[in-house]
Amino acid sequence: MNKPKVAAEDYIQFLVASPAAVSGTEAARVHAGPVAAHDAYTRLLHRLEPDAATLWQEAHGLVTTTSGVLVLDDTTLDKPYAQHMGLVTRHWSGKHHAVVQGINLLTLLWSDGRALVPVDYRLYDKATDELTKNDHFQHLLHTARQRGFAPRCVLFDSWYASLANLKQVRACGWPWLTRLKRNRLVNPDGQALKPLADCTIGPDGQTVWLKGYGPIRVFRLAAPAGGAEGAEYWASSEANLHEAERAPLAALSWGIEQDHRGLKQCCGVEKAQVRAARAQRNHIGCALRAFLRLETQRLGTGRSWYEAKRQLLREAIRTYLANPVYILHTPNA
* Dihedral sign from CA coordinates of 120, 123, 124, 125: negative
| pLDDT at position 235 over 70 | yes
The answer to whether 123 and 99 have CB atoms below 8 angstroms apart is no
What contacts 179, CB < 8 A, 6 or more positions away?
Answer: 157, 158, 161, 232, 233, 234, 235
Lowest mean pLDDT of 5-9, 124-128, 160-164, 246-250, name the range. 5-9
Question: Long-range contacts made by residues 168-173, C-beta under 8 angstroms, separation at least 24?
Answer: 168/137, 168/138, 168/141, 168/142, 169/141, 169/237, 170/237, 172/141, 172/142, 172/144, 172/145
Predicted confidence at residue 218, as pLDDT, reads: 96
Question: Phi/psi of residue 60, each to 5°?
Answer: -65, -25
CB within 8 Å of 58: residues ≥ 6 apart: 289, 292
The C-alpha atoms of residue 286 and residue 121 are separated, in whole angstroms, by 12
Distance of alpha carbon 195 from alpha carbon 183, whole angstroms: 5
Does the structure show a pLDDT above 90 at 159? yes
Residue 39: partners with Cβ closer than 8 Å, 6 or more residues away: 24
Pairing of strands 214-221, 232-236: antiparallel
Nearest to 233 by CA among 265, 194, 264, 270: 194
DSSP string across 222-264: --TT-SSTT-EEEEES-TT--HHHHHHHHHHTTHHHHHHHHHH
Measuring CA to CA, how many Å separate 194 from each of 2, 69, 201, 215, 235?
A: 68, 31, 13, 15, 16
Cβ of 224: how many Cβ atoms within 10 Å? Answer: 8
* Rounded average pLDDT over 286-308: 96
The whole-chain average pLDDT of the chain stands at: 90
**What is the average per-residue pLDDT within 304-331?**
91
How many other C-beta atoms can be found within 10 angstroms of the C-beta atom of residue 48?
A: 19
Q: What pLDDT sits at residue 184? A: 94
Q: Confidence band (pLDDT; 50, 70, 90) for 42?
A: confident
pLDDT of the residue at 122: 97
Least confident range from 22-26, 85-89, 257-261, 265-269: namely: 22-26
Bridge partners of residue 59, in order along the sequence: none
With bands split at pLDDT 50, 70 and 90, how would you rate the model's confidence at 212?
Answer: very high
Q: Tell me the whole-structure pTM to 2 decimals.
A: 0.91
Are the CB atoms for 8 and 48 separated by under 8 Å? yes
List the one residue out of 122, 180, 177, 174 whose CA is nearest residue 151. Answer: 174
- How far apart CA 234 and CA 269 sit, in angstroms, is 31
